[in-house]
Amino acid sequence: MSLPSILIPVAIACLIGLTMSYKVEPLPDSFAGLGEGPHWDVARQSLYYVDLEAGSLLRFDYAQNKVYKAKIEGETLAGFVLPVEGRPQEFAVGCGRRVVIVNWDGVSTTATVVRTLFEVQPLMDKNRLNDAKADPRGRFFGGTMRYIGDEFEFRHGELYRWEAGGQASVIKGDVGISNGLAWDVKAKKFYYIDTTDYEVKSYDYDFDTGVATNPKVIFNLRKNSPKDHLLPDGLTIDTEGNLYVATFNGATIFKVNPNTGKILLEIKFPTKQITSAAFGGPNLDILYVTTAAKFDQPAPAGTTYKVTGLNATGYPGVNLKV
């Protein structure tokens, strides 16, 4: 084979690689001081998320390319937002240690608490609910963390499961910062992050009962970034079963193969505090990413981003059944 014939396919491969590279773009007017909990709602073609320490809900309308924001009346915290199945203007929101039902039309600048669904750790006034999602059957999964004091020293958080008609049950104790959650229906797996462990764990998951067993570490940030102290935060999954791990302080989302623990891609951002991610858009091929502006981080900290060109698709958010 002649030298030119070797170089041609290499050049073509390089060109293909360039055209397949991802693109990171900010959403307009999307700032949240502590953006968290991105949830793609297929019915409304909207991304819902929270400004956690402002007690606010946000909605990015895909068709309008516009973000709407509402303050929850009487609340200072909003840890997550989950649309309620069958009730278009109702959302389950983590306010302190309560999961409340909030009424919001998605446009108004205020939202109203309708009722409390349940409360956890009622005597632990230094704790709050953090990340939460509905599993593929619509059950609530979410956990708590230390809100006042050192959450790395005081592991007083817990992970809970709740389903309609029942009580919240503790499925894991000794939690520092309860964070990212994801499910793989094909592999029958549940993935979970306790930030203070610096790792992602997989569990065998029974979708009929909602029971998670046999925990196993599948990605360890202490091994992958021993000097940088990157903190694993939010988590999502694509249809191929790959995980997307947001790193607080890391300016990066790692795309990880959970079977090998290997990093397949590092998605870089122009700000450090990457909090969570969710696939969305009409084809579920846009990765929406929330960030934070904690500890005097400069702009563009707190911006919400969209990542295109990943050649991957994900799953829409699941509504909570109440």
Catalytic residues: 233
**Is 233 annotated as ligand-binding?**
yes
**Is 249 annotated as ligand-binding?**
no
CB 298 within 8 A of CB 291: no
**Is 105 annotated as ligand-binding?**
no
CB 94 within 8 A of CB 77: yes
Q: What is the DSSP string of 246-269?
A: EEETTTEEEEE-TTT--EEEEEE-
Q: 135 — phi, psi (to 5°)? A: -70, 175
Apex CA 314: angle with CA 249 and CA 188, to 5°?
A: 95
Residues forming beta bridges with residue 57, ordered by sequence position: 50, 70
**Is 266 annotated as ligand-binding?**
no
Distances (CA, A) of 288 to 92, 126, 275: 20, 31, 11
Which residues are CB-neighbours of 172 under 8 A, at least 6 positions away? 143, 158, 159, 192
Structure tokens, 237: 């999954």
Q: What DSSP state is assigned to residue 271? A: S
**Is 75 annotated as ligand-binding?**
no
CB 77 within 8 A of CB 96: yes
Residues forming beta bridges with residue 278, ordered by sequence position: 288
d(CA 100, CA 107): 20
Q: What is the DSSP string of 41-62?
A: ETTTTEEEEEEGGGTEEEEEET
Residues annotated within the binding site for substrate are 128, 130
Residues making up the annotated binding site are 36, 128, 130, 179, 233
